[in-house]
DNA sequence: TCCTTGCTTCGACGTCTGTCGATACAACGG
DNA sequence: CCGTTGTATCGACAGACGTCGAAGCAAGGA
């Protein structure tokens, strides 16, 4: 990474899904699209984050309390750090309910990835 | 990353496609699967690499000479460095023909990504 | 009001990464 | 041969990243 700017991935706009980027095989990516896609892939480029994401995604109801998914082999502050990264990338959303914080997969995230990979069928 | 091991992504075996990992939403990822998938996403987590990959993928014939794709805003050694990373991740293959080196998208890479995202049609 | 539990933030640390210029290597043409 | 052009490797450096323990904040119970 040469820049330290935060590139936020917009896969959701109010009212519906907005594809974040053109398919990766459809032509040369613009600088801006490349940065958006890279931010998304980067968020998934760590084994711990991937496991956290898949734990949330596969949890009944599509959401999970931090305490349900925290057992991924690193300390609790590190789990929190990775969940924050996933939040910032727009892949997860979080909500406090009483004592616990619940994480959900942001809607249409997987569909947005599918669009990038040109798998709209 | 805490470890420095090289995790090689095997999307191709002799004779056919072998899905690298289970779908990301199908259940909790094993440590090993998470590392393989992370390696693939990591290779695509840089804007320069993403642009190089898309240039190769969208080039007529599915392959491109380095000289055709090298204009991505960084120096020639840096381009070479990124192409090497994409090769090591199993996303691109390369072949020297005379003076020039041609890069191709490794077959079934995109399909392997689709399997991860559970988009099997 | 205190203590306990769940989660986040802070500060520090070693390691990995992207970048470059310089240099080396490969293939070809004179 | 030697020079030229295309590509890869080397060595160095600044910045980003993953990790941890310590400390902070939020919510609820005694």
B35: chain A residues, CB-CB within 8 Å: 47
Q: Which of A117, A121, A110 is nearest to A17 (CA)?
A: A110
Q: What local confidence, expressed as pLDDT, does residue B49 receive?
A: 98
Is the CB of A47 less than 8 angstroms away from the CB of B55? no
For residue A25, tell me if it sits in a domain.
Answer: no
Whole-number distance in Å between A107 CA and D9 C1': 45
Residue B105 has φ and ψ, to the nearest 5°, of -70, 130
Give chain B's domain count. 1
For residue A44, tell me if it sits in a domain.
Answer: yes
For residue B110, tell me if it sits in a domain.
Answer: yes
Q: What local confidence, expressed as pLDDT, does residue B118 receive?
A: 65
For residue B3, tell me if it sits in a domain.
Answer: no
For residue B14, tell me if it sits in a domain.
Answer: no
For residue A18, tell me if it sits in a domain.
Answer: no
pLDDT tens, residue by residue, A14-72: 333 455 788 887 888 899 999 999 999 999 999 999 999 999 999 998 899 999 999 99
Q: Which of B60, B97, B101 is nearest to B80 (CA)?
A: B101
CATH no. for residue A35? 1.10.10.10
Q: What local confidence, expressed as pLDDT, does residue B19 receive?
A: 59
pLDDT tens, residue by residue, B101-118: 999 999 878 778 777 776
B45 near A CB under 8 A: yes
Residue that wins the pLDDT comparison between B55 and A120: B55
Please give the Cα distance from A16 to A100 (Å, whole number).
29
DSSP helix/strand/coil, B101 = strand
Domain that holds residue B88: 29-116
For residue A73, tell me if it sits in a domain.
Answer: yes
Is the CB of A25 less than 8 angstroms away from the CB of B119? no
């Amino acid at each position: 990474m040469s820049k330290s700017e935060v590139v936020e991935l917009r896969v959701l706009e109010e009212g519906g899904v907005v594809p974040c980027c053109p398919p990766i095989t459809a032509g040369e990516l613009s600088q801006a699209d490349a940065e958006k896609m890279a931010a998304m892939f980067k968020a998934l480029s760590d084994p711990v984050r991937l496991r956290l994401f898949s734990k949330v995604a596969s949890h009944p109801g599509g959401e999970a309390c931090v305490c349900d998914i925290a057992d991924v082999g690193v300390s609790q502050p590190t789990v929190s750090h990775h969940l924050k990264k996933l939040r910032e990338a727009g892949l997860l959303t979080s909500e406090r309910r009483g004592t616990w914080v619940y994480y959900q997969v942001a809607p249409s995230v997987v569909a947005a990835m599918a669009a990038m990979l040109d798998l709209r069928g």
